[in-house]
Structure 1
Amino acid sequence: MRPDGPILGIESSCDDTAAAVVRDGREVLSSIVRSQIEEHSAFGGVVPEVAGRSHLDHIIAVVDRALDDAGVGLDDLRAIAVTTRPGLIGSLLVGLSAAKGLAFGRGLPIVPVHHIEAHAYAGTMELDEDPYPCVALVVSGGHTALYRMEGHARMECLARTLDDAAGEAFDKVASLLGLPYPGGPSIAALAPEGNPKAIQFPRYRAKPERPSFSFSGLKTAVLYHLRGQNALNPTPAPEDIADRADVAASFQEAAVDALVKPTIQAARDQGVQTILVVGGVARNERLRAKLSEAAEAAGLRAVYPAPTYCTDNAAMIAGLGHHLLEAHGPADLELDASAR
C-alpha cells in the first residue's frame, strides 16, 4: 500500500462490470467498462441472474485490465473503493466480494460508495472548482431524482419519480416501437426523423408543495396511441406504425420536458447557480439542449459529465472514494451490500 497512491474503483451495481484507477479524486489513469447489452438485449431489459453471473465471469479480468492500463499494481494503490448500494443485490455482491478479497490479500483499506452519490460526483470530476451548493438531476434507467448537494456525498433528496425512472420509460416505449434495447439511444436515433410536435403526449405536473416525477402516464399514452383505446389490442408491427418516427420524437420531447421544468424550478427554489445533470439519460442530446437553453434563460449553469462518465463506470466510484476516505477513513471488511 502507498499512502500517496491512486485508488482502484470497482462498480457492478447493475449490468456493467467496471474498474478504474483514479488519482486524487480526479485524474483518471484508467477506466474499463464491460457492457452486458448483448446478453440482455434478447430480453428487452436486465435479467438480474444473468447480470450477476456475467459479473462473476468477468470481474477479475476487468480489474486486471484497469491496473494494466494504469501501469500500477495492487501494491501501488492507496485503497479500493467499491459500490455497495443501491443496485441488484447479486451484482453488488460480486463486486464487493472481489474488493474484499483484494483488500484482505494485500492489506488495503476498503471504502464503500453509494452509487447515486457517485453519479452526482461524476458531474464535478472535470470542473476546475467545486460547484457546491448545487442541484443534481440524477436520471438513468433505474433512478430519476433531484438532490441538493452541499459537498461530496452530502446530498438531500428534493424530488424523485413516483413510478418509472426516465430511462426505464425510454426502454418500454422503444420496445412498443420495435426498437432495440437499450431504448434511450434507439429512440434518440429515430427521433430526428420525426416531428416532436406531431403528438401531444401528456407532461406530468407535480404539485408545487410536493415536487416529483412520473412517467407511467406518458408511457401509457404511447401505448394507447399505438393500440387504440383498447390496451389489450396487440401492438402493431414496426413496419405498420406509419408515424413511428413522430411517436419517438413526441415521446422524447414529452419526457425531456418532464425533466427540464422541475429541475429549473428546483434550482431556483434552492437559490443555487449550478445544475449537475448525471446518469445514463444525461447523454441524451435533446435533454442537454433543452436543459442548457432553459438554464441559460434562468441565469443558471447546466453541467454534464463527458458521455463516458454518464453511464455506469468505476472512475466515479474511485473518484468519490478518495474524498470519502479522506473524510471518514476506511470501512472494515464486515461491510455488506444493500439493494436499497
Structure 2
Amino acid sequence: MSPTDEYLLAIESSCDETAAAVITRDMRILSNVVSSQTDLHEKFGGVVPEIASRAHLERILPVIDDALKQAGIELQQLTAIAVATEPGLVGSLLIGLTAAKTLAMTLNLPLIAVNHIEGHLFACQMQEDRPLFPAIGLVVSGGHTNLYHCSETFEFDLIGATIDDAAGEAFDKVAKILGLSYPGGPSIQNAATHGDPRAFKFPRTFLKDPELRFSFSGLKTAVLYAAQGNPGAKQQPPPLDDQRIADLAASFQETVVDVLVGKCRQAIERYNYSTLCVGGGVAANRLLRERLAEMTEQAGIHLSVAPPDLCTDNAAMAAIAWHHLDQGRIADLDLDVTPGLVR
C-alpha cells in the first residue's frame, strides 16, 4: 500500500470550530471542512462555552460526512482516526472525542490523541520540504499566546506565555470597544489600513523585560480609555468617528505586533535556534507576518508561518497524528480530554 492509499480522518472541536479533514500519509490534504460558529457568538463578543458545545453536537456528524465526501473515500478506507483532546473547552473537546472513539471502535481503527497546540505548530511543517525542528515556536490565537522550545516533533516545552489575555482575545475585546465586528482580528486589520499606527502611544508590556512573558490586559484598558475617556477625568476624548477608530485600530495592532515580534527575537537569541515557527489564528495577520519576515531576514533565521487557511482552528493540522501512529502512540478507548488554556 502506498502513502497515497492510506487515509487519516482528523477531528477538531477544541473551541468554537467544528472541523474534520482527510489527510494522506504523504501529507496531502484531501479535504479540510470547517463549520464556523461566528454567527452564534458574535453578539456576545466572544465564545460562550455552552453554546459552542451544543453547536458541535449538531454539526459534528455532517462535518465528518462532508470531509469524507470531499475526499472521495469511504469510512472503510480509513487507516486511523485522530482527534484533538487538549487544550480547549471541556464540553467542546468531549463532543469531538466521543465521535472519534465511536468511529475507532466501530471500524476497529487506531485512535490517535492530538495536542491542539502541537497541531498549530505542525501546520508550519506541512508546507516545508525539510524538517523544521529544533525551532522556537509561537502559537498566537484567541486562547493562546505561548512560546515553545521545540527540540523535536513531539518535544514542545513551554518557555513563555501571557499572564492574562491572549493576543487574539485582546483583538476581540478591542474590536468590541471600537464598535467593530466579531471576530476582532480581521475587523481590526481592515480598519487599521486607513489609520495611523503612531496616532496613539500604547504600553508595550514586558517588551524589554528579560522574561519571556506577555500581557495584553493593560493594552486593552489603554485603548478603552483612549476611546471612551478615563473615568473622572475633566477632559474627555472626542467622539469615535471613522478616522479615530482607524487610528486606534492601527495603533493597537502596531503595539501587539511589536510585542510579539520582540519576544520572538528574545527567544531566538536565548536558545540560539535558526528556525522560527508561528501558528494560530493571529498568525494570519498581515502586519505580523510582514514584521516577522523582516526580523528573521535581518537575523538570518528561517521563518515558517502556517498558511492562512491552516492558521485558524482546523482539522488538517492534526496530520501530526501520522507521526504518533508511526511511533506506536495509540490511545486507549478510555481516553479523556485535558481542558484548559496552556499545555
* TM-score (structure 2 length as normaliser): 0.94
For 1:73 and 1:280, the matched residues in 2 are separated by 31
Whole-Å separation in 2 of the counterparts to 1:225 and 1:201: 9
- Answer whether contact 1:187 1:252 (CA < 8 A) is retained: yes
Are the equivalent residues in 2 in contact too, given 1:142–1:168 (CA < 8 A)? yes
Aligned match of 2:184: 183
Relative to structure 1, the CA distance from residue 237 to residue 181 in structure 2 (aligned partners, 3 Å threshold; closer, same or farther) is farther
Aligned to 2:39: 38
| Separation (CA, whole Å) in 2 of partners of 1:179 and 1:299 | 38
Gaps of 5+ in 2: none
| 1:198 and 2:199 are equivalent in the alignment | yes
Deviation per CA, 1:274-310, whole angstroms, max 9, x where unpaired? Answer: 1111000000000001111111111112211211000
Q: Distance in 1 between matches of 2:230 and 2:188?
A: 24
Quick check: 1:144–1:213 contact (8 Å CA) kept in 2? yes
Matched residue SS, 1:29: strand
Is residue 2:137 matched to residue 1:136? Answer: yes
Which consecutive unaligned segments of at least 5 residues does structure 1 have?
none
What does residue 277 of structure 1 align with?
278
Please tell me whether the aligned partners of residues 202 and 251 of structure 2 are also in contact (alpha carbons under 8 angstroms): yes
Q: Aligned partners of 2:99 and 2:253: how far apart in 1?
A: 39
Aligned residues of 1:274 and 1:302 also touching (Cα < 8 A) = yes
SS in 2 for 1:91: helix
Give the whole-Å Cα distance in 1 for the aligned partners of 2:43 and 2:232: 24
Percentage of matched positions with identical amino acids: 51
Judge conservation of contact 2:229–2:237 (CA < 8 Å) in 1.
no
Q: Which residue identity is paired with 2:197? A: P
Question: Is 1:25–1:323's contact at 8 Å kept on the other side of the alignment?
Answer: no
Between the two proteins, the alignment pairs up a number of residues equal to: 338
CA spacing shift, 1:95–1:275, aligned 2, 3 Å: same
Matched, 1:336 2:314: no
Partner of 2:30, secondary structure, is: strand
Alpha-carbon offset, residue 210 of structure 1: 2.2
Go from structure 1 to structure 2 and tell me whether the alpha carbon gap of 1:239 and 1:134 turns closer, same or farther (over 3 Å shift).
same
Alignment of 1:1-340 (within 5 A): 5-24=6-25, 26-205=27-206, 208-230=209-231, 240=241, 243-317=244-318, 319-340=319-340
In the alignment, the residues of structure 1 paired with residue 321 and residue 26 of structure 2 have an alpha-carbon distance, to the nearest angstrom, of: 7
Change (3 A) 1:110 1:238: farther
Following superposition, the deviation at residue 72 of structure 1 comes to: 1.3
Summarize the Cα distance change of 1:280–1:125 in structure 2 as closer, same or farther, 3 Å threshold: same
**CA shift for structure 1 position 237:** 11
Q: For 1:321, give the aligned amino acid.
A: A
User: What is the TM-score normalised by the length of structure 1?
Assistant: 0.95
Does the 8 Å CA contact 1:2/1:76 hold for their aligned counterparts? Answer: no
Distance 1:60 1:237, change over 3 A: farther
Q: Report the secondary structure of 2:66's partner residue.
A: helix
Say whether the 8 Å CA contact 1:25–1:125 is kept in structure 2: no
Residues in 1 aligned to 2:112 and 2:263: alpha-carbon distance in whole angstroms: 34
CA distance in 2, matches of 1:232, 1:339: 42
Aligned-partner Cα distance in 1 for 2:278–2:229: 36
Query: What's the secondary structure of 2:259's corresponding residue?
Result: helix
